Amino acid sequence: MTSSPITLIDTPERRTTRAKPPATGFGSIRRARRGLAALKGIQGARRAVQLLVLAIVGNLIVAKWLSAEAGGTVTSAEALCPFGGLETLYTFVTTGTYVPHVHEANVVLAVAVLVLALLARGAFCGWICPLGFMQDIVAGASAFVRRRVPAAHRAMRAIHRAAAPLAFLDRPLRLLKYAVLAWAIGGAAVFGVMVFRDVDPWNALLEVGTGSVGFGLVVLVLTLVGSLFTDRPWCNYACPLGAANGLVAKLSPVRLERSAAACVDCNLCSRSCPMKIDVAKATKVTSPDCIGCLECVEACPRVGALELHVGLPIGGRA
């Protein structure tokens, strides 16, 4: 199937005037966006969507607190979690009912997320998921401090050097999220309850301020603390919804492609990827870990080096 490119960032204001670009468009140079300017374009749109979703969830959490104090009830933000729809799948198919704490909305959202994964790979994780966004916020704050406090920068470099010998664990640890997915769905099918709920950092976030403290809160704290040192630790290693999303995304015809003709091997795309995908060595980025954030596209200094394409999900991958 012939690939048809979807041009993402190719505007005049993104180019310098150092040299006239070739007729193909390859080789023209984009200015790197710094500070608030980085919020323009694709990343600005992504952050706006993430902020909107986080605001909606936050509003539901606050409404739940106020309603509880007044002795009333309100729709739980837990109804907005797509993973509940996957946890209740076996029970729903076999009995037509849901496991406790699951709503019809969870099932609808689960279907929507999986369809989105098929159409746009990891767009839910990279553009919508509030827990993913919270990890981005913490990582961004950590980077901000390191840039402005030399002592913090030196300390972080020392930590990364000390952890370097453990880098070989990264790949096997990425399989953990698939084990969590199997345990969560299988446990719900066997026991008829959401076995993952007590360790779910998302559920812990929703219960903050209600007096209900469980191991999920420990996982949430560890996730946010871990985000100070590495990008999206929960997404990379433990998220079962991300695992399910990635499995479906493998069938998606949409993927990033890297043009060797335009690439200058600067490695900025790989360094910018929060999921640690080695984009610079890929021909087609079809990794199930890709969250569709397009950070690599924004980081790429060459027009045409990284573009979205539609075609069969086969070929040289990363």
* Band of residue 54 on the pLDDT scale cut at 50, 70, 90: very high
For position 8, what pLDDT does the model report? 39
318 plus 175 within the same structural domain? no
130 plus 186 within the same structural domain? yes
pTM for this entry: 0.83
Q: Which domain holds residue 184?
A: 42-247
314 pLDDT higher than 70: no
- Count of the separate structural domains present in the chain: 2
116 pLDDT higher than 50: yes
174 plus 276 within the same structural domain? no
Give the model confidence (pLDDT) of 225-277 as tens digits: 999 999 999 999 999 999 999 999 989 999 899 999 899 899 999 999 999 99
Residue 232: inside a domain: yes
Residue 2: inside a domain: no
CA distance 124 to 222: 23
* Band of residue 14 on the pLDDT scale cut at 50, 70, 90: very low
Q: Bridge-partner residues for 308, per DSSP?
A: 6, 256
How many Cβ atoms are within 10 Å of 188's Cβ, its own excluded?
24
Q: Bridge-partner residues for 309, per DSSP?
A: 5, 255
Residue 117: inside a domain: yes
For position 288, what pLDDT does the model report? 93
Residue 150: inside a domain: yes
Domain end among 225, 247, 269: 247
85 plus 135 within the same structural domain? yes
For position 175, what pLDDT does the model report? 96
237 plus 166 within the same structural domain? yes
238 plus 290 within the same structural domain? no
* Residue of higher predicted confidence among 7 and 87: 87
206 plus 110 within the same structural domain? yes
* Residue of higher predicted confidence among 6 and 296: 296
Percent of the chain with pLDDT over 70: 81
Give the model confidence (pLDDT) of 192-221 as tens digits: 999 999 999 988 888 776 666 688 999 999
Domain end among 247, 280, 295: 247
Give the model confidence (pLDDT) of 20-47 as tens digits: 334 344 555 666 555 566 667 888 999 9
What is the average pLDDT value for the chain, to the nearest integer? Answer: 84
CATH number for 305: 3.30.70
Residue 4: inside a domain: no
Residue 75: inside a domain: yes
Give the model confidence (pLDDT) of 265-310 as tens digits: 999 999 999 999 999 999 999 899 999 999 999 999 988 899 988 8
238 plus 263 within the same structural domain? no
154 pLDDT higher than 90: yes
For position 1, what pLDDT does the model report? 46
204 plus 222 within the same structural domain? yes
51 pLDDT higher than 90: yes
